[in-house]
A and B are shown apart, each in its own frame.
Chain A
Amino acid sequence: MFGFAMAAMAPALVISRMISPRKSSNPVKFLPMECGQVPTGEGRTHFMMQYYPYILMFVVFDVMAIFLYAWGSSLLYLPKSATLPMIGFLGIMFGAMSFALYQSGRRRIW
């Protein structure tokens, strides 16, 4: 389906390129859009570190959340005693997440 959509949609761009007018009259036309101003400086600027902790947290907790699926999908076939360690794991995850959120809230260290 991915390949089909690629094969079906790429011709749309090609056809559009064929039937649309193409005039390179003015170099200003190809400047990046900045509401009429002539842009200054780099387009790919540095961005703020303020929300960087969320990316770090994502890397850790996304994997942990996917691990939970291995447990969740086989829960019906496991003995009930196997749930206790999982609840422990959930507790660790919850605690770690609260701590990380607390750290990410401290703006001064970022």
Chain B
Amino acid sequence: MSVIAPQFKLSEFIKSLLDNAFWILFLMVLVGLPALMIVLFVIELPVIDGELLTPFLAFTAIVDPTRILPVIHALMATDIFRVAVFPGFGFAALLAAGTIFAERKLLAKMQLRVGPFYCGKIEGILQLMGDGLKLISKEIIIPAKADKPLFWAAPVLFVATAAAFVSLIPVAPGWVVADIDMGLITVFAVIGFFPIITILSAWSANSKYPFIGGIRALFQMVSFEIPLILSLLGVVMLTGTLNLSEIVESQSTFPWIVFLPIGAIVFFITMLAELERIPFDLPEAESEIVAGWLTEFSGMMYGLVQLGTYLKLYAFAALFVVLFLGGWHGPMVVPPFPTEILTEGIVMGPVTAQIPGLPLFTQDMLNGTFWFVLKTVAVIFFILLPRGVFPRIRVDMLLSLGWTKLIGLCFVNIFIALGLLYAGVLGPGGLQ
């Protein structure tokens, strides 16, 4: 069988494309731009608004703040900005990347190692980028007899479900991707998808270790879902709403962890179990079953699953902050925007720049984001900490913990909330 180009390699093809693009740009700068100048010199161009219309006005508009700031404002009001950048994917991915770095260094310090050290001069800060490049250039090996469509879809679905979870988290007043009245119920619905994706990917791999890991993940997530749901009932009873933004608003004086510490502790433990972190990392127990349900993933598929795991970690920590620690509430630490910039403009020596659309973010939003990130990082630290301290527990211990002790504590929590409400401490006529 003859092939047109037996030596064809897609990587070299892309390299040649990039080479060509580089040379085209290079020649355009050296030859094209001078030629354009000559043409502009010859042709007479119209004058609009007292300005000569030239193609270079586009460059001026980009660097002129009075023209570009309204564009940025309009962009920030769109849904795509919220989904892709600020309360959504970019923000969460940044925090997730920070979490991975902090986890490695923290764990290394606990075990008297140095952790990532060489990549990026300062304490190996670019290690994650190096790992990402390595993963994306690795070959993806799919085991024979695997269910290929499911196997390919599983990592993407995992990341997408974690992102759907992230989209429900309110970060600052008004800054939330999806502000749903049934927010908390939606959170439970999204959490319910993770075991399904896990068991599907484990089933599709047609290998024994992933299958064992997937079954364990299913048992673990399913057993801890009921304590998770019941532990948050106290908060809903005291606030009388399921909307996450309204739950944050209700904590302006006291965070609910003051009144419902048992619920907070139970929720934290179930959070560890849902995230498959030590001491509940049975689905990925690397010393028993190679890597659990991740065994057959290679290359970028593994990278995507890791990204999804850390997005999920951020989302759970943020949910804890929203429900128990008061979300964006905190003392005002961000200084107000200097008013003389609004009235007089920025004075730089002889030049005065009048910039009309300047406060890009309001003071409330910056302050709220600051407190939210601070609390979330604190919660993430407490999620990371057990990894250096605790051993893994057995599966029957896990099940008995989830089904007897945590559910019992959840009932205690519900009655504490009822008591607080009917004793008049909280609710209408009470403190809040």
Which A positions have Cβ atoms within 8 angstroms of B?
1-6, 8-10, 12-13, 15-23, 27, 29-35, 39, 43-45, 47, 51, 54-55, 57-58, 61-62, 65-66, 68-69, 72-77, 80, 83, 90, 94, 97, 101
When the two chains form their complex, are residues B10 and A1 in contact, meaning their CB atoms are under 8 A apart? no
- Residues of A close to B407: CB separation below 8 A: 97
Given contacts A6-B156, A6-B160, contact A13 B242 (CB under 8 A): no
> Which residues, 277 to 326 on B, are CB-close (under 8 Å) to A?
290, 295-296, 299-301, 303-304, 307
Supposing A4-B84, A16-B138, A19-B10 touch, asked if A80 and B422 sit within 8 A by C-beta, the answer is yes
Q: Which B158-188 residues have C-beta < 8 A from chain A?
A: 159-164, 166-167, 177-178, 184-185, 188
A41's closest neighbor in chain B, by CB? Answer: B208
Nearest Cβ on chain B to A46's Cβ, whole angstroms = 10
Closest to B299 in A: A16
Q: How does the 8 Å CB contact mask read for B218-253 relative to A, with 1 for contact and 0 for none?
A: 010011011001100100110011100000000000
Would you give 8 A-B contacts (Cβ < 8 Å), ordered by A? A1-B167, A1-B178, A2-B161, A4-B84, A12-B304, A13-B155, A16-B138, A101-B403
| Beta-carbon nearest neighbor of B188 in chain A | A66
Instruction: Tell me if B421 is interfacial: C-beta within 8 Å of chain A.
Output: yes
Whether B138 lies near A51 (C-beta < 8 A) is no
From B206, which residue of chain A is reached at the shortest CB distance? A43
Q: B164: shortest Cβ distance to chain A, in Å?
A: 4
Chain A at the B interface: SS class: helix
Counting CB contacts under 8 A, is B86 at the interface? no
Q: Check B74 for interface membership: any CB of A closer than 8 A.
A: no
Q: Are B136 and A19 in contact, CB atoms less than 8 angstroms apart? A: yes
How many whole Å from B257's CB to the nearest CB in chain A?
18
Given A15-B300, A16-B137, output 15 extra A-B contacts at Cβ < 8 Å: A1-B177, A2-B160, A5-B156, A5-B163, A9-B304, A18-B10, A32-B205, A33-B143, A55-B219, A65-B230, A65-B233, A66-B188, A69-B236, A94-B411, A97-B403
Provide the residues of chain B in CB contact with A44, threshold 8 Å.
203, 206, 211
Return B9 CB to nearest CB of chain A, in Å. Answer: 9
- Asked whether any CB of chain A lies closer than 8 Å to the CB of B348, the reply is no
When distances are taken between beta carbons in the complex, the residues of chain B under 8 Å from A10 are 156
Partner of A32, one of B89, B167, B207, B236: B207
Residue of B nearest to A10 (CB): B156
Over the window 14-52 of chain B, the binary record of Cβ atoms lying under 8 Å from chain A Cβ atoms (1 yes, 0 no) is: 100000000000000000000000000000000000000
Known: A33-B296, A54-B219. A5 touches B139 (CB 8 A): no
> B185, A69: Cβ atoms under 8 Å?
yes
Q: Are A13 and B300 in contact (CB under 8 A)?
A: yes
Contact assessment for B144 and A31 in the assembled complex, using a CB-CB cutoff below 8 Å = yes
Whole-angstrom distance between the alpha carbons of A74 and B239 in the complex? Answer: 9
Residue pairs across A and B with CB atoms within 8 Å: the count is 181
Tell me if B236 and A30 are in contact (CB < 8 A). no
- Decide if B136 touches A9 in the complex (CB within 8 Å): no
In whole angstroms, what is the CA distance A15 to B295 when docked?
22
**Lowest 9 CB-CB distances: which A-B pairs, in order?**
A32-B207, A1-B167, A5-B163, A16-B300, A43-B206, A76-B240, A5-B160, A2-B164, A30-B144
Compute how far the CA of A20 lies from the CA of B178 in the bound complex, rounded to whole angstroms: 37
Does B142 count as interface, using CB distance less than 8 angstroms? yes
Contact indicator B185/A62 (Cβ below 8 Å): no
Q: In the complex, what residues of B have CB within 8 A of residue A61's CB? A: 226
Residues of A near B411 (CB, < 8 A) are: 90, 94
* Set of chain B residues within 8 Å of A16, measured between Cβ atoms: 135-138, 140, 299-300
Q: Could you say which residues of chain B place their CB within 8 Å of the CB of A97?
A: 403, 407
**B176 nearest CB across to chain A (Å):** 11
Q: Cβ of A35 and Cβ of B88 under 8 Å apart?
A: no
